[in-house]
Amino acid sequence: DGQYGVAVALSAPRHLATCGDLAQPPGKKNAEARERRDAHRHAFVAPAVVVDAQTGARISARTSDLSLGGCYIDTLNPFPLGTTLRLRIHRNAEIFDAPASTASSHTGSGMGLLFGEMTPEQRSMLAGWLDECVAPSRSSPTAPLQAEKTDQRDHLLAVKLIHSLVQKGVLSQSEAAALLEDSQA
């Protein structure tokens, strides 16, 4: 028969997202295996202050991900594993203030924190922040621009691919014209 099939999948680049699911990297089974996560983590960047409850030592840092059960704090000098802490995460006009403990510690990169007992108000605040990560606000002024730029980029890539397939003899001129016409609709 001599015919070829081509499948093309176009999607938005990952770097456009500000919040999203984070997969656990493969091969990290030692310390991370001890920190069993009961909740999905989401990328979440916000300023944070972490205070050692016993010594009063303070670290100003930022979160990199968040769940209902804990978060990851980016810092060069994390507290040791098992340290009892007080955590404050600042977002817009809200401050999440709760007890936490160090569940993992990685010198030079950060620490995983497990939240302690939370009030219903604290849990509600976290849930609201996580909801925004899952379904970002439609009122974001840059969201339509980013989507439009992605659509334009995807269209240009599709056109280049179709022309390349014609040059290689995979598509006929009439097939290419039909595809290009469909892409304008």
Q: Which of 95, 101, 97, 98 is nearest to 78 (CA)?
A: 101
Distance CA 101, CA 81 (A): 8
- Mean pLDDT for the chain overall: 78
The pLDDT value recorded for residue 16 is: 33
**Cα angle at 150 between 147 and 153, to 5 degrees?**
150
When pLDDT is cut at 50, 70 and 90, the band that residue 120 belongs to is: very high
Question: In whole angstroms, how large is the CA radius of gyration of the chain?
Answer: 23
Q: Which helix (H) or strand (E) holds 93?
A: none
Task: Spell out a b/e string for 74-109, using b for 16 or more CB atoms within 10 Å of the CB, else e.
Answer: ebeebbeeebebbbebebeeeebebbbbbbbbeeee
Phi, psi of 30 (to 5 degrees): -75, -85
- Between 24 and 41, the higher pLDDT residue: 41
Beta carbons of 72 and 100 less than 8 angstroms apart:
no
Asked if residue 98 has pLDDT above 80, the reply is yes
Per-residue pLDDT at 160: 81
Q: Map out the domains of the chain as residue ranges.
A: 33-134, 143-184
Contact call for residues 70 and 34 (beta carbons, < 8 A): no
Predicted confidence band at 171 (pLDDT cuts at 50, 70, 90)?
A: confident
* Cα dist from 157 to 9, 61, 174, 180, whole Å: 11, 40, 19, 12
Q: Which CATH architecture has domain 33-134?
A: Beta Barrel (2.40)
Instruction: Return the SS3 of 13.
Output: coil
Report pTM: 0.56
